[in-house]
Structure 1
Protein backbone atom coordinates (compact mmCIF):
# COMPACT_ATOMS: atom_id res chain seq x y z
CA UNK A 1 0.00 0.00 0.00
CA UNK A 2 1.42 3.39 -1.00
CA UNK A 3 1.19 5.93 1.82
CA UNK A 4 1.44 9.72 1.65
CA UNK A 5 2.04 11.47 4.98
CA UNK A 6 0.98 15.10 4.75
CA UNK A 7 3.16 17.03 7.19
CA UNK A 8 6.45 16.11 8.85
CA UNK A 9 5.92 17.87 12.16
CA UNK A 10 5.58 16.50 15.66
CA UNK A 11 2.82 14.02 14.81
CA UNK A 12 3.29 13.26 11.13
CA UNK A 13 7.06 13.24 11.42
CA UNK A 14 7.03 10.76 14.27
CA UNK A 15 4.46 8.28 12.95
CA UNK A 16 5.67 8.62 9.36
CA UNK A 17 9.22 7.83 10.47
CA UNK A 18 7.98 4.75 12.30
CA UNK A 19 6.23 3.58 9.12
CA UNK A 20 9.33 4.22 7.00
CA UNK A 21 11.52 2.31 9.47
CA UNK A 22 9.05 -0.58 9.29
CA UNK A 23 9.58 -0.80 5.54
CA UNK A 24 6.30 0.77 4.40
CA UNK A 25 6.18 2.64 1.09
CA UNK A 26 5.96 6.18 2.46
CA UNK A 27 6.31 9.66 0.93
CA UNK A 28 6.13 12.89 2.95
CA UNK A 29 4.28 15.84 1.41
CA UNK A 30 6.02 18.97 2.68
CA UNK A 31 6.94 22.50 1.63
CA UNK A 32 10.01 22.92 -0.62
CA UNK A 33 12.31 24.11 2.17
CA UNK A 34 11.32 21.23 4.45
CA UNK A 35 11.72 18.78 1.53
CA UNK A 36 15.27 19.96 0.94
CA UNK A 37 16.09 19.58 4.63
CA UNK A 38 14.65 16.06 4.76
CA UNK A 39 16.50 14.99 1.62
CA UNK A 40 19.77 16.25 3.03
CA UNK A 41 19.52 15.12 6.67
CA UNK A 42 16.66 12.61 6.77
CA UNK A 43 13.94 12.84 9.39
CA UNK A 44 15.50 13.10 12.83
CA UNK A 45 13.80 11.87 15.99
CA UNK A 46 15.17 12.61 19.46
CA UNK A 47 14.25 9.89 21.95
CA UNK A 48 13.52 10.26 25.66
CA UNK A 49 17.22 9.83 26.48
CA UNK A 50 18.23 12.65 24.15
CA UNK A 51 19.64 10.45 21.40
CA UNK A 52 18.92 11.52 17.83
CA UNK A 53 18.38 9.00 15.04
CA UNK A 54 18.10 10.07 11.42
CA UNK A 55 15.95 8.08 9.00
CA UNK A 56 16.25 8.58 5.22
CA UNK A 57 12.79 9.44 3.87
CA UNK A 58 11.19 10.31 0.56
CA UNK A 59 10.01 13.94 0.48
CA UNK A 60 7.74 15.31 -2.25
CA UNK A 61 6.16 18.69 -2.93
CA UNK A 62 2.63 19.43 -4.10
CA UNK A 63 3.64 20.03 -7.72
CA UNK A 64 4.99 16.46 -7.99
CA UNK A 65 1.93 14.55 -6.78
CA UNK A 66 -0.09 12.00 -8.71
CA UNK A 67 -3.24 10.04 -7.85
CA UNK A 68 -1.39 6.79 -7.14
CA UNK A 69 -1.61 6.62 -3.33
CA UNK A 70 -3.81 4.19 -1.42
CA UNK A 71 -3.65 5.97 1.93
CA UNK A 72 -3.13 9.63 2.80
CA UNK A 73 -2.25 10.31 6.43
CA UNK A 74 -3.13 13.95 7.12
CA UNK A 75 -1.12 15.23 10.09
CA UNK A 76 -0.95 19.02 10.10
CA UNK A 77 -1.97 21.68 12.57
CA UNK A 78 -5.61 22.67 12.22
CA UNK A 79 -4.82 26.19 11.02
CA UNK A 80 -2.98 24.63 8.04
CA UNK A 81 -5.93 22.42 7.06
CA UNK A 82 -7.26 24.39 4.07
CA UNK A 83 -3.83 24.76 2.46
CA UNK A 84 -3.05 21.08 3.11
CA UNK A 85 -6.30 19.92 1.49
CA UNK A 86 -5.52 21.97 -1.61
CA UNK A 87 -2.00 20.53 -1.78
CA UNK A 88 -2.95 16.88 -1.26
CA UNK A 89 -5.97 16.86 -3.59
CA UNK A 90 -3.98 15.62 -6.65
CA UNK A 91 -2.96 12.53 -4.64
CA UNK A 92 -6.57 11.41 -4.09
CA UNK A 93 -7.64 8.93 -6.74
CA UNK A 94 -10.63 6.58 -6.98
CA UNK A 95 -9.12 4.15 -4.46
CA UNK A 96 -7.48 6.61 -2.08
CA UNK A 97 -8.64 7.09 1.49
CA UNK A 98 -7.65 10.13 3.58
CA UNK A 99 -7.09 9.46 7.29
CA UNK A 100 -6.78 12.74 9.23
CA UNK A 101 -5.25 12.99 12.68
CA UNK A 102 -6.31 16.52 13.62
CA UNK A 103 -7.99 17.73 16.78
CA UNK A 104 -11.68 18.60 16.93
CA UNK A 105 -14.24 17.81 14.24
CA UNK A 106 -14.28 20.66 11.70
CA UNK A 107 -11.80 18.91 9.41
CA UNK A 108 -14.23 15.99 8.98
CA UNK A 109 -16.78 18.32 7.39
CA UNK A 110 -14.12 19.89 5.15
CA UNK A 111 -12.72 16.57 3.95
CA UNK A 112 -16.02 14.78 3.36
CA UNK A 113 -17.35 17.74 1.40
CA UNK A 114 -14.22 17.78 -0.77
CA UNK A 115 -13.62 14.05 -1.29
CA UNK A 116 -16.80 12.22 -0.18
CA UNK A 117 -17.40 10.19 2.97
CA UNK A 118 -16.28 6.94 1.30
CA UNK A 119 -12.77 8.40 0.88
CA UNK A 120 -12.42 9.79 4.41
CA UNK A 121 -11.73 8.07 7.72
CA UNK A 122 -11.82 9.53 11.18
CA UNK A 123 -8.67 9.46 13.26
CA UNK A 124 -7.28 10.17 16.71
CA UNK A 125 -3.56 10.74 17.18
CA UNK A 126 -2.14 10.31 20.67
CA UNK A 127 1.54 11.15 20.97
CA UNK A 128 3.84 13.11 23.25
CA UNK A 129 6.17 14.86 20.83
CA UNK A 130 7.09 18.35 19.72
CA UNK A 131 9.12 19.88 16.91
CA UNK A 132 12.60 21.02 17.89
CA UNK A 133 14.37 24.21 16.84
CA UNK A 134 16.26 22.46 14.04
CA UNK A 135 13.28 20.55 12.65
CA UNK A 136 13.82 17.36 14.64
CA UNK A 137 10.92 15.53 16.29
CA UNK A 138 11.41 15.38 20.06
CA UNK A 139 9.70 12.71 22.16
CA UNK A 140 8.61 14.05 25.55
CA UNK A 141 6.64 11.00 26.73
CA UNK A 142 5.93 7.36 25.99
CA UNK A 143 2.43 7.74 24.54
CA UNK A 144 2.24 6.87 20.82
CA UNK A 145 -1.05 5.58 19.37
CA UNK A 146 -3.15 6.05 16.25
CA UNK A 147 -6.86 5.21 16.34
CA UNK A 148 -8.83 5.18 13.08
CA UNK A 149 -11.99 3.98 11.43
CA UNK A 150 -14.25 4.62 8.42
CA UNK A 151 -16.95 7.27 8.29
CA UNK A 152 -18.84 5.42 5.56
CA UNK A 153 -20.29 1.91 5.42
CA UNK A 154 -18.62 1.50 2.01
CA UNK A 155 -15.09 2.99 2.24
CA UNK A 156 -12.89 2.73 -0.85
CA UNK A 157 -10.26 1.05 1.34
CA UNK A 158 -11.45 -1.43 3.94
CA UNK A 159 -10.61 -1.05 7.61
CA UNK A 160 -8.67 -4.32 7.43
CA UNK A 161 -6.39 -2.98 4.68
CA UNK A 162 -5.82 0.35 6.40
CA UNK A 163 -5.06 -1.42 9.66
CA UNK A 164 -2.60 -3.73 7.94
CA UNK A 165 -0.79 -0.67 6.53
CA UNK A 166 -0.48 1.07 9.91
CA UNK A 167 -0.10 -1.82 12.33
CA UNK A 168 3.23 -3.31 13.45
CA UNK A 169 5.29 -0.16 12.96
CA UNK A 170 6.49 0.49 16.50
CA UNK A 171 3.44 2.30 17.85
CA UNK A 172 -0.02 1.23 18.99
CA UNK A 173 -2.42 1.02 16.05
CA UNK A 174 -6.11 0.66 16.89
CA UNK A 175 -8.85 0.06 14.33
CA UNK A 176 -12.43 0.83 15.36
CA UNK A 177 -15.91 1.09 13.90
CA UNK A 178 -16.74 3.76 16.54
CA UNK A 179 -14.26 6.41 15.51
CA UNK A 180 -16.62 9.39 15.86
CA UNK A 181 -17.17 8.55 19.52
CA UNK A 182 -13.42 8.35 20.11
CA UNK A 183 -12.91 11.68 18.33
CA UNK A 184 -15.58 13.43 20.41
CA UNK A 185 -14.14 12.05 23.64
CA UNK A 186 -10.67 13.27 22.79
CA UNK A 187 -12.13 16.65 21.84
CA UNK A 188 -13.90 16.95 25.19
CA UNK A 189 -10.68 16.23 27.07
CA UNK A 190 -8.34 18.27 24.89
CA UNK A 191 -10.58 21.31 24.67
CA UNK A 192 -11.16 21.32 28.43
CA UNK A 193 -7.52 20.85 29.34
CA UNK A 194 -6.30 23.32 26.72
CA UNK A 195 -8.80 26.01 27.65
CA UNK A 196 -7.94 25.62 31.33
CA UNK A 197 -4.19 25.79 30.65
CA UNK A 198 -4.47 28.81 28.38
CA UNK A 199 -6.92 30.83 30.45
CA UNK A 200 -5.06 30.24 33.70
CA UNK A 201 -1.54 30.14 32.25
CA UNK A 202 -0.41 27.01 34.01
CA UNK A 203 -0.47 23.20 34.19
CA UNK A 204 -3.59 21.55 35.51
CA UNK A 205 -2.20 20.77 38.98
CA UNK A 206 -1.30 24.40 39.61
CA UNK A 207 -4.78 25.49 38.56
CA UNK A 208 -6.52 23.04 40.88
CA UNK A 209 -4.36 24.10 43.84
CA UNK A 210 -5.32 27.75 43.38
CA UNK A 211 -8.37 29.25 45.16
CA UNK A 212 -11.42 28.42 43.07
CA UNK A 213 -9.32 26.38 40.66
CA UNK A 214 -11.00 23.03 41.26
CA UNK A 215 -14.46 24.56 40.78
CA UNK A 216 -13.26 26.21 37.57
CA UNK A 217 -11.82 23.03 36.00
CA UNK A 218 -14.91 21.04 36.99
CA UNK A 219 -17.19 23.62 35.37
CA UNK A 220 -15.11 23.61 32.18
CA UNK A 221 -15.37 19.82 32.06
CA UNK A 222 -19.14 19.81 32.45
CA UNK A 223 -19.59 22.41 29.71
CA UNK A 224 -17.67 20.23 27.25
CA UNK A 225 -19.57 17.10 28.30
CA UNK A 226 -22.89 18.88 27.84
CA UNK A 227 -21.97 19.98 24.32
CA UNK A 228 -20.86 16.49 23.28
CA UNK A 229 -24.00 14.97 24.77
CA UNK A 230 -26.26 17.41 22.92
CA UNK A 231 -24.38 16.60 19.70
CA UNK A 232 -25.30 12.94 20.10
CA UNK A 233 -21.97 11.68 21.42
CA UNK A 234 -22.22 11.51 25.20
CA UNK A 235 -18.85 10.45 26.63
CA UNK A 236 -18.74 6.94 28.06
CA UNK A 237 -18.65 6.40 31.80
CA UNK A 238 -15.17 4.91 31.74
CA UNK A 239 -13.84 7.87 29.78
CA UNK A 240 -15.56 10.34 32.10
CA UNK A 241 -14.04 8.76 35.20
CA UNK A 242 -10.58 8.99 33.66
CA UNK A 243 -11.05 12.52 32.27
CA UNK A 244 -12.50 13.98 35.46
CA UNK A 245 -9.69 12.43 37.49
CA UNK A 246 -7.03 13.84 35.17
CA UNK A 247 -8.57 17.31 34.96
CA UNK A 248 -9.13 17.56 38.73
CA UNK A 249 -5.60 16.48 39.71
CA UNK A 250 -3.76 18.76 42.14
CA UNK A 251 -0.34 17.24 41.41
CA UNK A 252 -0.28 16.80 37.64
CA UNK A 253 2.08 18.89 35.51
CA UNK A 254 -0.02 18.15 32.41
CA UNK A 255 -0.53 20.85 29.80
CA UNK A 256 -1.48 20.75 26.12
CA UNK A 257 0.35 21.52 22.90
CA UNK A 258 -1.96 24.52 22.49
CA UNK A 259 -0.64 25.91 25.77
CA UNK A 260 2.93 25.16 24.69
CA UNK A 261 2.35 27.06 21.43
CA UNK A 262 0.72 29.99 23.20
CA UNK A 263 3.53 30.39 25.74
CA UNK A 264 6.15 30.18 22.98
CA UNK A 265 4.53 32.77 20.72
CA UNK A 266 3.42 30.26 18.07
CA UNK A 267 0.12 30.05 16.17
CA UNK A 268 -2.53 28.13 18.11
CA UNK A 269 -5.34 25.78 17.06
CA UNK A 270 -7.84 27.97 18.88
CA UNK A 271 -10.59 28.05 16.29
CA UNK A 272 -10.53 24.31 15.58
CA UNK A 273 -10.38 23.16 19.21
CA UNK A 274 -12.27 25.88 21.10
CA UNK A 275 -14.03 28.10 18.57
CA UNK A 276 -15.78 25.26 16.74
CA UNK A 277 -16.94 23.80 20.06
CA UNK A 278 -18.50 27.17 20.96
CA UNK A 279 -20.23 27.40 17.59
CA UNK A 280 -21.71 23.93 18.00
CA UNK A 281 -22.84 24.79 21.53
CA UNK A 282 -24.63 27.86 20.20
CA UNK A 283 -26.32 25.89 17.40
CA UNK A 284 -27.41 23.22 19.90
CA UNK A 285 -28.64 25.75 22.47
CA UNK A 286 -26.11 24.67 25.11
CA UNK A 287 -24.75 27.43 27.41
CA UNK A 288 -20.95 27.62 27.19
CA UNK A 289 -19.82 30.80 28.97
CA UNK A 290 -16.39 29.50 29.99
CA UNK A 291 -15.51 28.17 26.56
CA UNK A 292 -16.76 31.43 25.05
CA UNK A 293 -14.38 33.27 27.36
CA UNK A 294 -11.54 30.99 26.28
CA UNK A 295 -12.35 31.65 22.62
CA UNK A 296 -12.21 35.40 23.18
CA UNK A 297 -8.96 35.10 25.11
CA UNK A 298 -7.29 33.02 22.38
CA UNK A 299 -8.66 35.28 19.64
CA UNK A 300 -7.03 38.29 21.30
CA UNK A 301 -3.74 36.39 21.46
CA UNK A 302 -3.96 35.38 17.79
CA UNK A 303 -4.81 38.92 16.69
CA UNK A 304 -1.83 40.22 18.64
CA UNK A 305 0.51 37.87 16.79
CA UNK A 306 -0.60 39.38 13.48
CA UNK A 307 -0.02 43.03 14.38
Structure 2
Protein backbone atom coordinates (compact mmCIF):
# COMPACT_ATOMS: atom_id res chain seq x y z
CA UNK A 1 0.00 0.00 0.00
CA UNK A 2 1.30 3.46 -0.92
CA UNK A 3 0.89 5.82 2.03
CA UNK A 4 1.80 9.47 2.62
CA UNK A 5 2.13 10.97 6.09
CA UNK A 6 1.11 14.63 5.91
CA UNK A 7 2.58 16.22 9.02
CA UNK A 8 5.34 14.21 10.65
CA UNK A 9 4.90 15.27 14.25
CA UNK A 10 4.63 12.69 17.01
CA UNK A 11 1.40 11.08 15.73
CA UNK A 12 2.37 10.95 12.07
CA UNK A 13 5.94 9.87 12.76
CA UNK A 14 4.88 7.09 15.14
CA UNK A 15 2.20 5.45 13.00
CA UNK A 16 4.14 6.10 9.79
CA UNK A 17 7.24 4.42 11.20
CA UNK A 18 5.23 1.33 12.17
CA UNK A 19 3.70 1.13 8.68
CA UNK A 20 7.10 1.62 7.01
CA UNK A 21 8.70 -1.04 9.21
CA UNK A 22 6.03 -3.53 8.12
CA UNK A 23 6.94 -3.04 4.46
CA UNK A 24 4.51 -0.46 3.12
CA UNK A 25 5.67 2.26 0.73
CA UNK A 26 5.49 5.22 3.13
CA UNK A 27 6.49 8.80 2.31
CA UNK A 28 6.82 11.40 5.08
CA UNK A 29 6.01 15.05 4.36
CA UNK A 30 7.96 17.16 6.83
CA UNK A 31 10.13 20.26 7.09
CA UNK A 32 13.12 21.81 8.85
CA UNK A 33 15.60 19.91 10.99
CA UNK A 34 13.20 16.99 11.39
CA UNK A 35 13.11 16.49 7.62
CA UNK A 36 16.88 16.74 7.33
CA UNK A 37 17.41 14.20 10.11
CA UNK A 38 15.02 11.72 8.51
CA UNK A 39 16.82 12.04 5.19
CA UNK A 40 20.19 11.46 6.82
CA UNK A 41 19.43 8.90 9.55
CA UNK A 42 15.89 7.67 9.08
CA UNK A 43 13.34 7.66 11.88
CA UNK A 44 13.77 6.31 15.42
CA UNK A 45 10.93 5.43 17.80
CA UNK A 46 11.50 5.01 21.54
CA UNK A 47 9.07 4.13 24.31
CA UNK A 48 7.70 1.56 26.77
CA UNK A 49 6.74 -1.06 24.16
CA UNK A 50 10.27 -1.13 22.80
CA UNK A 51 12.54 0.96 20.59
CA UNK A 52 13.09 0.56 16.87
CA UNK A 53 14.49 2.44 13.89
CA UNK A 54 13.61 2.69 10.23
CA UNK A 55 17.06 3.60 8.88
CA UNK A 56 15.93 4.59 5.40
CA UNK A 57 12.73 6.53 4.86
CA UNK A 58 11.28 8.57 2.03
CA UNK A 59 11.00 12.14 3.29
CA UNK A 60 10.24 15.36 1.46
CA UNK A 61 8.89 18.85 1.96
CA UNK A 62 7.12 18.73 -1.41
CA UNK A 63 4.11 16.40 -1.80
CA UNK A 64 4.39 16.66 -5.59
CA UNK A 65 7.54 14.50 -5.40
CA UNK A 66 5.57 11.55 -4.04
CA UNK A 67 3.13 10.68 -6.79
CA UNK A 68 -0.25 8.93 -6.43
CA UNK A 69 -0.94 7.29 -3.06
CA UNK A 70 -3.72 5.08 -1.73
CA UNK A 71 -3.89 6.71 1.70
CA UNK A 72 -2.83 10.03 3.18
CA UNK A 73 -2.63 10.02 6.97
CA UNK A 74 -3.37 13.68 7.66
CA UNK A 75 -1.72 14.73 10.92
CA UNK A 76 -1.10 18.47 10.70
CA UNK A 77 -2.15 21.01 13.31
CA UNK A 78 -5.75 22.14 12.89
CA UNK A 79 -4.77 25.69 11.95
CA UNK A 80 -2.83 24.30 8.94
CA UNK A 81 -5.72 22.17 7.64
CA UNK A 82 -6.69 24.10 4.53
CA UNK A 83 -3.17 24.79 3.24
CA UNK A 84 -2.10 21.18 3.85
CA UNK A 85 -5.22 19.81 2.16
CA UNK A 86 -4.48 21.91 -0.92
CA UNK A 87 -0.98 20.44 -1.09
CA UNK A 88 -2.02 16.78 -0.89
CA UNK A 89 -5.10 16.94 -3.13
CA UNK A 90 -3.09 16.21 -6.33
CA UNK A 91 -1.40 13.07 -4.94
CA UNK A 92 -4.55 11.13 -4.00
CA UNK A 93 -5.10 8.28 -6.45
CA UNK A 94 -8.53 7.57 -7.92
CA UNK A 95 -10.32 5.87 -5.05
CA UNK A 96 -7.63 7.02 -2.62
CA UNK A 97 -8.52 8.50 0.74
CA UNK A 98 -7.26 11.12 3.15
CA UNK A 99 -7.75 9.99 6.76
CA UNK A 100 -7.59 12.85 9.23
CA UNK A 101 -6.04 11.91 12.59
CA UNK A 102 -6.21 15.50 13.80
CA UNK A 103 -7.69 16.76 17.03
CA UNK A 104 -11.13 18.33 17.13
CA UNK A 105 -14.37 17.51 15.33
CA UNK A 106 -14.48 19.57 12.13
CA UNK A 107 -11.35 18.64 10.15
CA UNK A 108 -13.09 16.07 7.95
CA UNK A 109 -15.56 18.65 6.67
CA UNK A 110 -12.82 21.23 6.07
CA UNK A 111 -10.63 18.78 4.14
CA UNK A 112 -13.62 17.53 2.15
CA UNK A 113 -14.31 21.00 0.80
CA UNK A 114 -10.88 20.84 -0.88
CA UNK A 115 -10.23 17.20 -1.87
CA UNK A 116 -13.86 16.10 -2.21
CA UNK A 117 -16.05 14.54 0.46
CA UNK A 118 -15.74 11.09 -1.13
CA UNK A 119 -11.97 11.15 -0.62
CA UNK A 120 -11.81 11.90 3.09
CA UNK A 121 -12.52 9.98 6.29
CA UNK A 122 -12.60 11.29 9.81
CA UNK A 123 -10.34 9.65 12.32
CA UNK A 124 -8.97 9.63 15.85
CA UNK A 125 -5.51 8.82 17.17
CA UNK A 126 -4.95 7.43 20.64
CA UNK A 127 -1.23 7.74 21.35
CA UNK A 128 0.79 10.14 23.47
CA UNK A 129 4.18 11.19 22.20
CA UNK A 130 6.57 14.00 21.39
CA UNK A 131 9.32 14.64 18.89
CA UNK A 132 12.22 14.26 21.31
CA UNK A 133 14.84 15.34 18.77
CA UNK A 134 14.89 15.70 14.98
CA UNK A 135 14.23 12.23 13.58
CA UNK A 136 13.29 10.78 17.00
CA UNK A 137 9.75 10.28 18.35
CA UNK A 138 9.14 9.21 21.95
CA UNK A 139 5.77 7.75 22.91
CA UNK A 140 4.69 7.70 26.53
CA UNK A 141 2.29 4.79 27.04
CA UNK A 142 1.11 1.44 25.73
CA UNK A 143 -1.96 3.06 24.17
CA UNK A 144 -1.64 2.78 20.38
CA UNK A 145 -4.91 2.89 18.44
CA UNK A 146 -6.61 4.70 15.60
CA UNK A 147 -10.32 4.84 14.84
CA UNK A 148 -11.63 6.05 11.50
CA UNK A 149 -14.73 5.87 9.35
CA UNK A 150 -16.58 6.96 6.24
CA UNK A 151 -18.93 9.92 6.61
CA UNK A 152 -21.85 7.74 5.43
CA UNK A 153 -21.06 5.01 7.95
CA UNK A 154 -20.16 2.41 5.32
CA UNK A 155 -17.65 -0.31 6.21
CA UNK A 156 -15.90 0.26 2.89
CA UNK A 157 -13.39 -2.00 1.16
CA UNK A 158 -10.73 0.71 1.33
CA UNK A 159 -11.35 1.18 5.03
CA UNK A 160 -11.13 -2.55 5.72
CA UNK A 161 -7.92 -2.82 3.67
CA UNK A 162 -6.23 -0.01 5.59
CA UNK A 163 -7.42 -1.40 8.92
CA UNK A 164 -5.79 -4.74 8.09
CA UNK A 165 -2.56 -2.96 7.08
CA UNK A 166 -2.47 -1.17 10.44
CA UNK A 167 -3.12 -4.33 12.44
CA UNK A 168 -0.33 -6.11 10.56
CA UNK A 169 1.96 -3.17 11.35
CA UNK A 170 1.44 -3.66 15.07
CA UNK A 171 -1.25 -1.22 16.16
CA UNK A 172 -4.99 -1.39 16.58
CA UNK A 173 -7.19 0.16 13.89
CA UNK A 174 -10.98 0.29 14.25
CA UNK A 175 -13.25 1.10 11.30
CA UNK A 176 -16.34 2.61 12.93
CA UNK A 177 -19.82 3.31 11.60
CA UNK A 178 -20.41 6.64 13.42
CA UNK A 179 -17.14 8.54 13.34
CA UNK A 180 -18.77 11.85 14.31
CA UNK A 181 -20.09 10.45 17.59
CA UNK A 182 -16.69 8.85 18.24
CA UNK A 183 -14.97 12.21 17.67
CA UNK A 184 -17.23 13.99 20.15
CA UNK A 185 -16.75 11.23 22.71
CA UNK A 186 -12.99 11.72 22.45
CA UNK A 187 -13.49 15.50 22.58
CA UNK A 188 -14.82 15.15 26.14
CA UNK A 189 -11.33 14.37 27.38
CA UNK A 190 -9.21 15.84 24.59
CA UNK A 191 -10.41 19.44 24.70
CA UNK A 192 -10.83 19.47 28.47
CA UNK A 193 -7.38 18.01 29.16
CA UNK A 194 -5.76 20.45 26.72
CA UNK A 195 -7.45 23.39 28.43
CA UNK A 196 -6.72 22.29 32.00
CA UNK A 197 -3.13 21.23 31.31
CA UNK A 198 -2.40 24.63 29.78
CA UNK A 199 -4.21 26.75 32.38
CA UNK A 200 -2.74 24.88 35.36
CA UNK A 201 0.60 24.21 33.59
CA UNK A 202 0.87 20.87 35.35
CA UNK A 203 0.83 17.22 34.21
CA UNK A 204 -1.94 14.67 34.61
CA UNK A 205 -0.66 13.47 37.98
CA UNK A 206 -1.37 16.90 39.45
CA UNK A 207 -4.50 17.91 37.53
CA UNK A 208 -6.45 14.69 38.11
CA UNK A 209 -5.50 14.02 41.72
CA UNK A 210 -6.19 17.42 43.28
CA UNK A 211 -9.73 17.48 44.76
CA UNK A 212 -10.46 21.04 43.63
CA UNK A 213 -9.16 20.44 40.10
CA UNK A 214 -11.18 17.22 39.85
CA UNK A 215 -14.32 19.32 40.33
CA UNK A 216 -13.21 21.60 37.50
CA UNK A 217 -12.35 18.62 35.27
CA UNK A 218 -15.77 17.05 35.82
CA UNK A 219 -17.34 20.37 34.86
CA UNK A 220 -15.31 20.58 31.65
CA UNK A 221 -16.11 16.98 30.68
CA UNK A 222 -19.82 17.52 31.41
CA UNK A 223 -19.96 20.60 29.19
CA UNK A 224 -18.68 18.71 26.15
CA UNK A 225 -21.08 15.83 26.82
CA UNK A 226 -24.00 18.27 27.01
CA UNK A 227 -23.03 20.02 23.75
CA UNK A 228 -22.74 16.67 21.95
CA UNK A 229 -26.10 15.45 23.25
CA UNK A 230 -27.73 18.73 22.19
CA UNK A 231 -26.67 17.83 18.62
CA UNK A 232 -28.39 14.44 18.92
CA UNK A 233 -25.15 12.49 19.23
CA UNK A 234 -25.13 9.40 21.48
CA UNK A 235 -22.89 9.71 24.53
CA UNK A 236 -22.35 6.98 27.14
CA UNK A 237 -24.12 7.85 30.39
CA UNK A 238 -20.92 7.27 32.38
CA UNK A 239 -18.56 9.10 30.03
CA UNK A 240 -17.66 11.82 32.57
CA UNK A 241 -16.56 9.36 35.27
CA UNK A 242 -14.97 7.04 32.72
CA UNK A 243 -12.97 9.93 31.26
CA UNK A 244 -11.85 11.04 34.71
CA UNK A 245 -10.69 7.51 35.55
CA UNK A 246 -8.78 7.27 32.28
CA UNK A 247 -6.95 10.54 32.95
CA UNK A 248 -6.16 9.48 36.51
CA UNK A 249 -4.44 6.43 35.02
CA UNK A 250 -2.27 8.49 32.66
CA UNK A 251 1.47 8.53 33.45
CA UNK A 252 1.81 11.17 36.20
CA UNK A 253 4.24 13.29 34.16
CA UNK A 254 2.13 13.26 30.98
CA UNK A 255 1.08 16.65 29.62
CA UNK A 256 -1.50 17.42 26.94
CA UNK A 257 0.11 17.98 23.55
CA UNK A 258 -1.21 21.55 23.51
CA UNK A 259 0.80 22.25 26.66
CA UNK A 260 4.02 21.39 24.79
CA UNK A 261 3.06 23.97 22.15
CA UNK A 262 2.33 26.55 24.85
CA UNK A 263 5.65 25.88 26.61
CA UNK A 264 7.54 26.31 23.33
CA UNK A 265 5.78 29.52 22.34
CA UNK A 266 3.98 27.92 19.39
CA UNK A 267 0.47 28.45 18.10
CA UNK A 268 -2.30 26.64 19.97
CA UNK A 269 -5.22 24.60 18.64
CA UNK A 270 -7.40 26.33 21.24
CA UNK A 271 -9.95 27.72 18.78
CA UNK A 272 -10.70 24.26 17.35
CA UNK A 273 -11.01 22.67 20.80
CA UNK A 274 -12.52 24.84 23.56
CA UNK A 275 -13.47 27.43 20.93
CA UNK A 276 -15.66 24.96 19.03
CA UNK A 277 -17.32 23.81 22.26
CA UNK A 278 -18.12 27.38 23.29
CA UNK A 279 -19.53 28.33 19.87
CA UNK A 280 -21.62 25.16 19.57
CA UNK A 281 -22.85 25.68 23.12
CA UNK A 282 -24.00 29.22 22.35
CA UNK A 283 -25.72 28.02 19.17
CA UNK A 284 -27.57 25.27 21.05
CA UNK A 285 -28.21 27.10 24.33
CA UNK A 286 -25.78 24.97 26.36
CA UNK A 287 -23.66 26.86 28.93
CA UNK A 288 -19.92 26.12 28.85
CA UNK A 289 -18.39 28.22 31.67
CA UNK A 290 -15.29 26.09 32.31
CA UNK A 291 -14.24 26.06 28.66
CA UNK A 292 -15.09 29.76 28.35
CA UNK A 293 -12.81 30.55 31.29
CA UNK A 294 -9.97 28.44 29.89
CA UNK A 295 -10.38 29.99 26.44
CA UNK A 296 -10.21 33.52 27.85
CA UNK A 297 -7.09 32.71 29.90
CA UNK A 298 -5.27 31.10 26.97
CA UNK A 299 -6.44 33.39 24.17
CA UNK A 300 -3.38 35.72 24.47
CA UNK A 301 -1.17 32.70 23.63
CA UNK A 302 -3.29 31.33 20.78
CA UNK A 303 -1.03 32.66 18.02
CA UNK A 304 2.20 32.04 19.88
CA UNK A 305 3.93 33.68 22.81
CA UNK A 306 2.85 37.33 23.21
CA UNK A 307 5.51 39.91 22.39
TM-score by length of 1: 0.88
The corresponding residue for 2:275 is 275
Q: Which residue of 2 aligns with 1:139?
A: 139
Cα drift, residue 111 of structure 1: 1.2
Superposed CA offset, 1:39-61 (max 9, x none): 21111222338956343111233
Aligned to 1:218: 218
- Does the Cα contact within 8 Å between 2:225 and 2:235 map onto a contact in 1? yes
Q: With the length of structure 2 as denominator, give the TM-score of the two structures.
A: 0.88
Equivalent position SS for 2:141:
strand
| 1:76-91 → structure 2 map (5 Å cutoff) | 76-91=76-91
RMSD of Structure 2 on Structure 1 (CA): 2.8
Alignment CA distance shift 1:281-1:144 (3 Å): same
The range that moved more, 94-103 or 289-298, is 289-298
What aligned pairs does 1:247-286 form with structure 2 within 5 A after superposition? 254-286=254-286
Residues 66 and 90 in structure 1, CA contact (< 8 A), matched pair in contact too: no
Residue 99 of structure 2 contacts residue 121 of structure 2 at CA under 8 Å; is this kept in 1?
yes
Aligned residues: 307
Q: CA deviation at 1:121?
A: 0.8
Structure 2 residue runs of 5 or longer lacking an equivalent are none
Q: CA separation in 1, counterparts of 2:169 and 2:52? A: 19
* 2:302 matches 1:302: yes
Q: Which runs of 5+ in 1 are unaligned?
A: none
Rounded to whole Å, the distance in 1 between the matches of 2:49 and 2:174 is 27
Distance 1:156 1:36, change over 3 A: farther
Give 1:2 deviation, angstroms. Answer: 1.4
> Could you tell me whether the CA contact under 8 Å between 1:204 and 1:250 is conserved in 2?
yes
**Residues 1:289 and 2:289 are matched in the alignment:** yes
| Greater displacement, 104-113 / 242-251 | 242-251
| Structure 2 equivalent of residue 228 of structure 1 | 228
What is residue 184 of structure 1 aligned with on the other side? 184
* Secondary structure at 1:20 match in 2: helix
8 Å contact from structure 1 (residues 218, 248) kept in 2 = no
Deviation larger for 21-30 or 204-213: 204-213
Q: Which residue of 2 aligns with 1:161?
A: 161
